[in-house]
Chains A and B, each alone.
Chain A
Amino acid sequence: MAAPTTTAEESSPPQTGLNDVLDVSLLKEIARNSLIHALNSVNGGKTLVLDPSLAGPLSLVTEVSLLQQHGVDKMFWLEAGPLAAVTTNIVYLCRPRITWVKIIADQIKRHARESKKHTYTLLLVPRISTLVTRVLEEEGVLGDVTISSYNLQFIPIADDVISLENDNAFKEIWVDGDETAVYDASQALHSLQKLFGLFPRIVGKGDCAARLTDLLLRHTSLASNTGPETALATSVKFDSLVVIDRRVDMITPFLTQLTYEGLIDEVVGIKNCHVEVPVSLLNAPSNPAAPPSAASTSTAPAPALAKEKKRKHHLSSATDPIYAELRDLNFASVGKRLNRVARRLDDDYKARHQAQSVAQLRDFVGKLGGLQSEHQALRLHTGLSEIIVPFTRTDVFNKSLEIQQNLLASYDVPGQVAAIEELLAQGADMQLVIRLLCLASITSGGIRSKTLENIKREILQTYGYNFLPLLLSLASPPLAVLLPNPLPASTPAAVADAKYPFVALRKSLRLLLDGNESLDELENDISYVYSGYAPISVRLVQCVAQKGGVLSNPAGKQKGPEEDTDASKPAAAKVHAHPIVGFKGFEDVIASIPGKTVDVVQQGASSAGGDVSTASLLPQRDQTTITAVFFVGGCTYTEIAALRWAGRQNQGRKFLIATTGIVNGASIVEGIAGVGRAATGTKDASL
């Protein structure tokens, strides 16, 4: 992993260096091994039938060749219709959802009718479910299937981000009321504890966060109950776990993300770290010896609209240093940075002219490979920026940004609502309109009933009456993000209580920065990521882990003379992280946000209790501890970027971001509406 070289270059990416403290690739290793184990439990060659929603996560864990080594002859997507398998063994790998099970049952029955002999194994992710056995029983094929589980939990998607990659978590929890995702998350976090020790302290905000904490504590106490050998010791690496319920901060995902990575997600869409880009961006025409690794990834059929063939590309900071440098930047500064990289690259190429001796030439040739891959990456990112720039120039985009900024500042709310109506009339995306409308409702405590009814009517007329359930879901209790003002008398008390105190929070959490600062000046505060707005969720984390950052910009006073990031600042100038003492100092603010607040100190079992607790209260100066931040219901790329910024401002504390999945406003709205982005797929599956 990252070598601890102190002579970091000027341009070195602002790596968090989390891996020095905690190696998350261990999780990948575990996931991969348990997959192999699960596959090997079925002897001989087998046909793998894969739940498409699992393909993305699996591709982060393993590759096709590995599956082939373990007897997978052919892979199919799990989809309705007959299945023509050659091998006797058929292995289904899917999440325990009824739709999948019904398809499987159908295929088995079809085989029985055609009197084909197969043995079926059903691997459920992440665990066996009674529901599945019941449905199989109802379909009358339970006896033919061996059911076991493949416990796929956290997948590292960056060196400081681990995700359960459950795309539907938000909808399942807050719309369907199915809290399986919370339970699975608690088990995944418990596995994390088994690896690295107990989180010394768990701090959380939100009802689901409370439930998750409760479950996690229960797992821990059960583990210590079964015997001293299974009891867990307190972790020395982690100083705490901060659980943030997505429901606590619905504003942030509804805003348009403005970091590079966030915008790619908004415009192109990042799915399980993969982005679909035109082939020409990936293959250097002049360079036939392009790394074949990219070619091994799948070729998804191009959507009919695109003229050019598209290909999935794995965006990863590990293989692409330029990406690591760019991903957290505000898009406004991406162009500048790209320019600088290009110029540096050019200089490096030119170095060959200075090569006089054979030795110098050999040096240059040695560097050539790196330069070429960097060149390739640069081409990709320039291309991506070119895709994004026209989008950011559109009328709709700019108008929506304007509306967002005004709403955040609570400036002329009726005017903004009218502007949203205008966007609607122009035929903007449904998700955009809904996002803005929800934003207006949350920030201003509801939209005037008459106006709201009108807009709803227009939405239904424009996009179709079948979106009425969506509107109802958004307005009903657990979510309640689209409310009329005043509330009708009959609304349940839960909704009325859950009114979001945005205006108060804006002040107490310093959400909005004064407009007179230019973007460059903002760049060292987390509000940089939204061009002036600090995400509430991240502020809440700061309330626990970086209290100073909430009140004032920690880097503001000590800005370097001409540096635009604080990456190169002398480390000694950074504020040292304070110990974790829960929400102390912000209790009133936290209490004003609807949802339960939790703050639990966990005692390790074996290690001498008192000794450890004092140690965790007063961490050694030189020791870096990790604060894990778990988002129930998903987080956005921009929030990740903001947390990375926050992490860089402190010394002695790193953030590990864990989430049920990556979301953005579009994916949330479309998820609830049930109109996910068109899934692509062929009959023959690949990763």
Chain B
Amino acid sequence: MSDHPTASWQPMQDGNVFYRRQQSYSISGKLPNLGDCIVAGCRHGGPLAMMRNHTKLIALGRAAPIFSKSQIQVYSPAGEGLLLFSWDQAKIVRFGWAGDERLVVVNEEGVYRLYDLQGDYEQHSLGSEAAEVGIIDARIHENGLVAMTGSLQLLDVKGWEGGKPLTLANPGLSEPPLVWTVIPPDLTISRHVEVLLSVESTILTVDNLETVDQRLSRGPFTHMSPSPNGKSLALLTFSGMLWVVSTDFQRNLAEFDTGNVVADGDVRQIAWCGSDAILVIWDALALLVGPFGDTLQYFYSGPTFAITEPDGVRIIGPDVCDFVQKVPASTVSVFRPGSTSPSAILYDAWDNFSNRSPKADENIRSIRPELVVAVDEIIDAAGQEWEPLWQRRLLNAANFGKAFLDLYNPTDFVNMGKTLKVLNAVRFYEIGIPITLAQYNYLSPSNLIARLTSRNLHLLALRVSSYLSLPPDNVLKHWATAKILKSKPVPGATGKDADMTGDEEVSRGIVEKFEKLGGIGVSYADIAKKAWEVGRTGLATMLLDHEPRASDQVPLLLSMKEDRIALQKAVDSGDTDLVYHVLLHLYKRLPLGAFFRLIEDGGERLAPASKLLQVYAREQNPDMLRDFFYSDDRRVESAVLCLEEAGRMQDSAAKANSVKAAQKFFSEDKERSFEAKMMDEYGRLLAFQQQLEKETSDKIQFFGLSVDETIRVCLLNGMAKKADKIKSDFKVPDKRFWHVKLHALAGARDFEGLDAFSRSKRSPIGYEAFVRHLLEKGHPKEAATYVPRCDAPKRVDLYVECGEWRLAGKECKERNDRAKLEQLRKLSPNSMIARELDQIATSMK
């Protein structure tokens, strides 16, 4: 059984507050001597990065691992080496950690790189000006950095996307400050980064607008450190006075003279423990200074390094990794000696219960009204414990107390159990993420999973995410990309085949895994993109094949210059918009000839693309379309295009030319002789119309009319000769000509002309058409004159339609059709006609 939790506690402020030092990991011999290195630690239980400090001499032959000059080594808090990389660039001025566990390394040439834990990096620059004057120092916070240039200007970079650096207000320095620090933008009131510079005896506060001299006289300062919540600032003066002020320098919070402490050498570091205590570190001693000047001393065997956490401080010593924090309230409440809080009593009750002591019941009874609070507090206390044993004991106690409650929502209890299981898993020394509950809650589970995947701990990440019922997509995606990066094309492979098999294997592996684990939401396109970025085009194509969303596939295919496949996929998707996307992209990128060839070679499968291109070009780019048809020898389409253009043209000469061009195209295709002939006629018609217009000195509009209309206009304007000429020139059939002429003359009410025309020869359309047309146009009288020339049996009815009842009667008489006459009489509209019909009837006998 491990020690009681209180064993690591130490009281402060007369026993009102406790601080505890817990050993997270034992790391003896795993790290190099911290005194010889420049160290940067990542918050929230993150890793440490270190580099040899070149200003120090190192004795050879020591046991601890040491590395050569220009190398940076990254260790987990448990002392496991995570990454080692060499630096081949200009001198490093500073390195530190970004919020997502990427190591930021800034060099003197104004270049900074972001290394992930796999050693892959992104590189950004601080701009050409920075490169010129050089960077002498930098401060890195979670969401950006501030660099100091050689000309003592400050450059602020927000975020890690390589944004353009912003120059802060000029602090007007003549020499580099003794120390300086930044308060990250999310902790300041203005939400912009603030830089604090220690200059002579005072401190300058610089932001993007102005530089403020705080007019202090206690300087110069040797150390400066803002608290994790950004509200207070710890300063160490030259004389060894530790001074804590609010960051606006309005309030004096504490003072402590470190000169009285017996310690070797200088102060190495000051760090905050949470936001209310300060750790001052000498070579072998760490002194915790509380808000009221009380102190606790921790001794180490060698140089240490401290990393401030929001709820405590992590101290890396030569042999151990410790976590020092103020004991959380709930834990104090449960375990403080002599505590009579409900949670303490409940814990006691459970203890008695498990020892089979009847006092348990008595205990429970005494805290009955506050049992809910007690249970909640114990659950929280369980989360604060590092040792699984005590976690279990506390949860058991909570469970015990819970049983006495009628209505208790167990969600918190269940969640805490799950959370602790996850926390214990990641705290395991091989994983080495000593994260506390408070940090975990602050960061969110998905962030933790991301940290696991960035360490390539995919299996654990997958288990954690399925345990917490989070979608496995991100893990799988990271896994797949990692797999692609790892699986270099088959070693020693020669030729393309080996490459292909390697690709196939990887692709199959990835797809199988996804299908097995249900990573259906994972976008294959994203993974394929990664594969393409590392130059595995074949693999990328294979993976893309599994992407069901064509809209995701196509853009990557386009950027991979897989034009044909991209177009093919777009066409297959049936999404015309996607096809347009590809077409317009290719049209811009490829030379016109290659573009056309791509579409033409696609044949039947790419036909929809070709059609869409035509739709687009017809409206927006007719010239391109003309070229397209021409290059593909599409005579008919070319001709149609010409004809369409002719339809839009106003100018007669241009129109005639277009028609001629169309005729030419048609005539080049021997299947289209009919169309060619028609176009020839069209051309002749236009010419004839132009001539007509000239003859009528442009008074009458002919141009653009159809053949029939031209005839009609000629007739209406008394140009019968011309009409006849058109008839013969264009071989207009007699029937149609007669109809046209009939309509024209009737329309012009030229009944004499019509009569003459009807007698010019025997009508090829009969005379009933005359009657009917005249009737339709409302000329019954004139219509009646043509009835006698119609077929005999129809005459009676036609007469009736013309309203000529008497003539109808007469007709009946002539044909001796008594029945019809009788019928007429019945239909007769008025008595007068009836009488007349009667007369005829009688005369018939």
A: residues with CB less than 8 A from B are 97-99, 102, 127-131, 134-135, 138, 176-180, 182-183, 186, 211, 214-215, 218, 221-222, 225-227, 395, 422, 424-427, 453, 456-458, 460-466, 468-469, 472, 488, 490
Contact = CB atoms under 8 A, between A and B. Distances in A.
A129 B575 contact: no
B577 interface: yes
A543 to B, nearest CB: 26
B706 A131 contact: no
Given A134-B584, A135-B620, A222-B549, 12 more contacts: A131-B584, A177-B608, A179-B576, A183-B575, A221-B548, A456-B678, A461-B707, A464-B709, A465-B685, A468-B678, A469-B640, A472-B636
Contact of B643 (A135, A427, A469): A469
Q: Categorize the interface residue count of chain B.
A: 35 or more
A214 B577 contact: no
A227 B614 contact: no
Contacts of B619: 97-99, 102
A387 B584 CA distance: 51
Contacts of B739: 425-427
Contacts of B40: none
Contacts of A211: 574
B528 to A, nearest CB: 17
B730 interface: yes
A234 B502 CA distance: 42
B644 interface: yes
Contacts of B735: 422, 425
Contact of A464 (B611, B640, B659, B706): B706
Contact of B772 (A221, A226, A227, A395): A395
B674 A130 contact: no
Interface in B591-610: 607-608, 610
A472 B708 CA distance: 21
Nearest to B621: A138
Nearest to A181: B576
A427 B740 contact: yes
B706 A176 contact: no
B678 A226 contact: no
Interface in B667-691: 671, 674-675, 678-679, 681-682, 685
B611 A176 contact: yes
A573 to B, nearest CB: 45
Nearest to B673: A453
A620 B783 CA distance: 69
Contact of B576 (A183, A463, A465, A472): A183
Contacts of B740: 427
B733 A458 contact: yes
26 contacts: A97-B619, A98-B616, A98-B620, A102-B619, A130-B578, A138-B620, A176-B614, A177-B611, A179-B576, A179-B608, A180-B577, A183-B576, A183-B577, A218-B574, A226-B521, A227-B520, A425-B735, A427-B740, A456-B674, A457-B678, A460-B681, A461-B708, A462-B707, A463-B708, A465-B659, A465-B679
Given A214-B574, A468-B643, A490 B736 contact: no
B581 interface: yes
A491 to B, nearest CB: 9
Contacts of B682: 460, 465
B212 interface: no
B373 to A, nearest CB: 38
B577 A130 contact: yes
B121 to A, nearest CB: 34
Contacts of B580: 129-131, 134
Nearest to B612: A178
Nearest to A424: B736
Contacts of A427: 708, 739-740, 743
B12 interface: no
Contacts of A460: 678, 681-682, 706-707
Contacts of A490: 671
B574 A183 contact: yes
Contacts of B614: 176-177
Interface in B708-754: 708-709, 730, 732-733, 735-736, 739-740, 743
A182 B612 CA distance: 14
Contacts of A129: 577, 580
Interface of B: 520-521, 548-549, 573-578, 580-581, 584, 607-608, 610-612, 614-616, 619-620, 636, 640, 643-644, 646-647, 659, 671, 674-675, 678-679, 681-682, 685, 705-709, 730, 732-733, 735-736, 739-740, 743, 765, 769, 772
Given A469-B643, A472-B636, A131 B577 contact: yes
Contacts of B616: 98, 131
Contacts of B520: 225-227
Given A462-B708, A462-B736, A466-B647, A130 B521 contact: no
A425 B733 CA distance: 9
A134 B769 CA distance: 57
Contacts of A127: 577
A16 to B, nearest CB: 33
A422 B735 CA distance: 8
Contacts of B705: 464
A672 to B, nearest CB: 12
B574 A177 contact: no
A215 B574 CA distance: 7
A42 to B, nearest CB: 23
A462 B611 CA distance: 31
Contacts of A222: 548-549
Contacts of B607: 177
Contacts of A134: 580, 584
Contacts of B615: 176-178
Contact of A465 (B578, B608, B706): B706
B427 to A, nearest CB: 33
B647 A468 contact: no
A243 to B, nearest CB: 14
A395 B766 CA distance: 15
Nearest to A129: B577
Contacts of A225: 520-521, 548
Chain A to chain B: the 10 pairs with minimum beta-carbon distance, closest first: A177-B611, A98-B619, A461-B707, A465-B682, A464-B706, A425-B736, A180-B576, A130-B581, A131-B580, A215-B574
A182 B608 CA distance: 12
Contact of B681 (A98, A99, A465): A465
Nearest to A453: B674
A466 B659 CA distance: 10
Nearest to B681: A465
Contacts of B736: 424-425, 458, 461-462
A396 to B, nearest CB: 10
B549 A469 contact: no
A465 B684 CA distance: 12
A395 B769 CA distance: 10
Nearest to B683: A465
B643 A177 contact: no
Contacts of A425: 733, 735-736, 739, 765
A128 B578 CA distance: 11
B662 to A, nearest CB: 8
A427 B614 CA distance: 34
A229 to B, nearest CB: 11
A427 B777 CA distance: 14
B382 to A, nearest CB: 34
Contacts of B671: 488, 490
A130 B706 contact: no
A186 B584 contact: no
Contacts of B636: 472
Contacts of B549: 222
A466 B678 CA distance: 10
Contacts of B732: 461
A472 B675 contact: yes
A548 B732 CA distance: 53
A498 to B, nearest CB: 15
A458 to B, nearest CB: 7
B800 to A, nearest CB: 15
